[in-house]
Amino acid sequence: MEKVSPSRYVHFEKDRCTACYDCVRICPTRALRFRDQAPRLRAGQCIGCGECIRVCSAGAVRAATCKPEHLDRDQISVALVSPVLYSQFPGVHPETVLQALRQMGFRHAVDMSYFLEMFQFATEDYIRRNRKKEESPWPIISPVCPVIVRLIAYKFPNLLANILPVVRPLTVMIREVVRLLNEKYDNPEQPFHLYYIVPCLTKMEPGGPFLKDSSYEVRALGFNDIFGDLRREICKVPWNAPLPDFFDYETTVSSLIWGSSGGETADLKIEDSLAVSGLKECMSYLEKIEMGLFREMEYIEFRTCTEGCVGGILTATDRYLAKRDIQQTILQGGIERRVTRSEFLRFYQEGRFAQKNSLSDMRRIFGVYEKALSLEKMAEIYRLLNHINGKNCAACGAPDCRTFAEDVVRGEACAEDCLELRAREKK
């Protein structure tokens, strides 16, 4: 029968649930069913998009996060800061945000945008090298938003081949930060504690690290978990604060653009690219790409959240205010790159972009295998569906009649759960 296990991304509070079924209906992977007065999640099918959290007006769906209590001053702790964080504090220089994080108790705070620029070089390089090759699957899809990668693995596995085969900026960053830490600290007693500060659920592993090695552990920390404390610390940062960190990547305000939809492609030096944001839009574009459209496009940036990462589920500032602030900053200063091509090539030749996972690995890691339906079962589904002739009322606990019919045929629900069918039988 149905497997129910807790999700890494969301949890449901039964006491608050008003049984409105909104979460069941909105789930893009149809991972929720309403049973015994509570939504049940098929955790393996959850891609962490957070739509159920957004739609729940009763506040019964919560993001699984790892609270900052875990921060221990004796540890060698490093905050890995995505530039989206700066958009939460309009008018504050990124360097001040990093300094405030150090005051909060992180031993080091490292800006990610240097690695984002590296990633941009790698993207341009890959596209230029493969442009003339007919066999490359076009368009190339950005691997930056992990929800999109999971969505593709689950719903559009044929498009896994379109995902840019370059490691994500976070991975390159972790590799480099750990290398530098190892140079600085000789044989530390504890593993390095890395905290990735995120606007969304995608890296959540409640109470534990999402990535672990003998010398380091990486945990995720949501924006909203540190926002209050960080804002207080920002006010306390002296105007002439020294730069105490040995990680110095000369943070620039132009990195802010990464928080907004189109930020990844804005400065990408290729022929043609698109930026799509919002889950519904992304799904509709992926459907179209699967049907052979947009083959003339070189690169498509997809972001699950509307307007990009500033619209993330764990952000603390309104997405449109953040967007306006980013646009104003970029209009004033333009976009500059610190990374030079020779620096990139050195990184490249050292194999820092090498990918560990193959396509089939990705399918295994992110994908969910549903047993294929036989033709007989498919015919049965449509027979039942015609018989129900329903209005997608969801009273059965499934998001729509089609899903319900499939659940019945797969033996995961009973036909008697359908109100329409029951009413007709009584007559």
Partner 1 sequence: MPDILFEKSFQINKKDFVHAGEASISAKNLLKSLQMDAGMIRRASICAYEGEMNVVMHGGEGHLALAIEKNRIILEISDNGPGIADTEMAMKKGFSTASDKFRELGFGAGMGLPNMKKNADEFELSSRLGEGTRVRMAFFTDAAV
Residues 6 or more apart from 63 whose CB is under 8 A from it?
9, 10, 50, 53, 201, 204, 222, 313, 314
CB of 35 to partner 1, least distance (A): 23
CA distance 311 to 303: 10
CA–centroid distance for 150 within its chain: 9
Q: Of 71, 373, 395, 415, which lies in the binding site for partner 1, with binding defined by CB under 8 A?
A: 373
Of all helices (H) and strands (E), which one includes residue 118?
Answer: helix 113-130
For residues 372 and 423, which CB has a smaller minimum distance to partner 1 in the complex?
372
CB of 411 to partner 1, least distance (A): 16
37's tokens? 């007065």
C-beta of residue 248 within 8 angstroms of C-beta of residue 242? no
Mask 158-177, x = binds partner 1 (CB under 8 A)? Answer: x-------------------
Coil vs helix vs strand at 22: helix
CB of 73 to partner 1, least distance (A): 52
Q: Of 44, 90, 105, 157, which lies in the binding site for partner 1, with binding defined by CB under 8 A?
A: 157
CA distance 258 to 126: 20
**Which part of the chain contacts partner 1 (CB under 8 A), choosing from 7-15, 61-69, 127-135, 375-383?**
375-383
CB of 374 to partner 1, least distance (A): 8
> DSSP class of residue 392?
-
CA distance 237 to 239: 6
CB of 368 to partner 1, least distance (A): 13
CB of 270 to partner 1, least distance (A): 20
Residues 6 or more apart from 360 whose CB is under 8 A from it?
none
**Which part of the chain contacts partner 1 (CB under 8 A), choosing from 56-64, 69-77, 174-182, 372-380?**
372-380
CB of 361 to partner 1, least distance (A): 17
Q: Of 4, 345, 365, 378, which lies in the binding site for partner 1, with binding defined by CB under 8 A?
A: 378
Coil vs helix vs strand at 275: strand
The reply to whether 372 sits near partner 1 by the rule CB under 8 A is: yes
CA distance 400 to 39: 15
Coil vs helix vs strand at 421: helix
Which residues inside 253-292 make contact with partner 1, applying CB under 8 A? 287-288, 290-292
Which residues inside 332-371 make contact with partner 1, applying CB under 8 A? 370
Residues binding partner 1 (CB under 8 A): 157-158, 287-288, 290-293, 370, 372-375, 378-379, 382, 406
